[in-house]
Amino acid sequence: MPELPEVEIIRRYLEQKLTGRKVERVEVLLPRMIKWPTAGEFEAMITHHKITAVKRRGKYLLLELDHGQILVVHLRMTGRLKYQEDLTSLDQYARILFHLDEGKLIYADTRTLGTLYLIPKSEISRISGLATLGPEPLSPEFSLTYLRQLLSRHKGKIKSLLLDQKALGGLGNIYVDECLALAKIHPCTCPAQLNDSEVQTLYDAINEVIRQGIEHGGTTFRDYVNGEGKKGNHQNYLLAYSRQGQPCQFCGAIIIKEEVAGRGTHYCPVCQKLKK
């Protein structure tokens, strides 16, 4: 479900609500959500500890605790992390409950594909997806030079490169389609074929799409809600994603959907022509 903008929106809200809170009790309702350590150890090691910071890397949320352990959460497709004052309206798919000294933190997940870890800060690189995460849009590490080098080395399709978290941390299927639509690049384009001005356009598009996604509170189709349980607004601003059959905002041609890199892919066949 959530990509970088959605996770960042959740982080910002949870940071306000959770920083300084103490965990008084943990209830793991579905033990297989916990990848490390065991569910029992997970409960015991978090209990009685304070949350000192709420951070994010790519699509991972990192809740730092006062004893040097970090609660790492990846929401995958349908995970939700919500703060609420009490349990009067508990999510039907609640999988883990954190009872705090003030309020509750709920991990809910419909498809249960999400992953949670508790790991010492110094060993965080044992989570392979985190260790190999590439630079994020809007960060200093994501420079034009970096993107240019990335593109020159990759032999596959541009879409699969942008989805690769080792290349770039935080983009997912929605925002990749949006970046390519804004930059007017066909998803099957061979990255090395892009000229300097197209690379610059793509670079700006990636940053702009992510910036707007955050500004609009993320994109909600069905499951995504922010830390407060509310939907995002960016679905109202999309250029391509889920707009198949509707007119392109730039030229009026009909947006099409087909499979690229194993994912449903939406683009304008006129603006985003494949260069040969």
Partner DNA sequence: ACGAGCACCTGTGTGC
Partner DNA sequence: TGCACACAGGTGCTCG
Is 57 among the catalytic positions? Answer: no
As measured in angstroms, the least distance from the Cβ of 29 to DNA is 13
**108: which strand partners?**
80, 94
The distance of closest approach from Cβ of residue 217 to DNA in the complex, given in angstroms and rounded to an integer, is 12
| 69, 160, 189, 272: which one binds DNA (CB under 7 A) | 160
31 near DNA, rule: CB under 7 A: no
Member of 62, 174, 185, 271 binding DNA (CB under 7 A) = 174
Among 88, 89, 141, 262, binds DNA (CB under 7 A): 262
64 is catalytic: no
140-159 residues in contact with DNA (CB under 7 A) are 153-157
- Answer for which of 11, 56, 59, 184 binds DNA (CB under 7 A) is 59
* Shortest separation between residue 213's beta carbon and DNA, angstroms: 10
Considering only residues 196 through 255, tell me which ones interact with DNA, judged by CB under 7 A.
Answer: 219-224
Which H, E and C letters describe the chain, residue by residue?
A: CCCHHHHHHHHHHHHHHHCCCEEEEEEECCHHHEEECCHHHHHHHHCCCEEEEEEEECCEEEEEECCCEEEEEECCCCEEEEEECCCCCCCCCEEEEEEECCCEEEEEECCCCCEEEEEEHHHHHHCHHHHCCCCCCCCCCCCHHHHHHHHHHCCCCHHHHHHCCCCCCCCCHHHHHHHHHHHCCCCCCCHHHCCHHHHHHHHHHHHHHHHHHHHCCCCCCCCCCCCCCCCCCHHHHCCCCCCCCCECCCCCCECEEEEECCEEEEECCCCCCCCC
Q: Is 269 in the site for DNA (CB under 7 A)?
A: no
Binding test (CB under 7 A) with DNA, winner from 84, 110, 207, 212: 110
- Site for DNA (CB under 7 A): which residue of 129, 134, 217, 229? 129
Positions in the binding site for DNA (CB under 7 A) = 1-3, 6, 32, 58-59, 74, 76-77, 110-113, 128-129, 153-157, 160, 163, 165, 172-174, 219-224, 261-264
Q: Which residues are catalytic?
A: 2-3, 59, 263
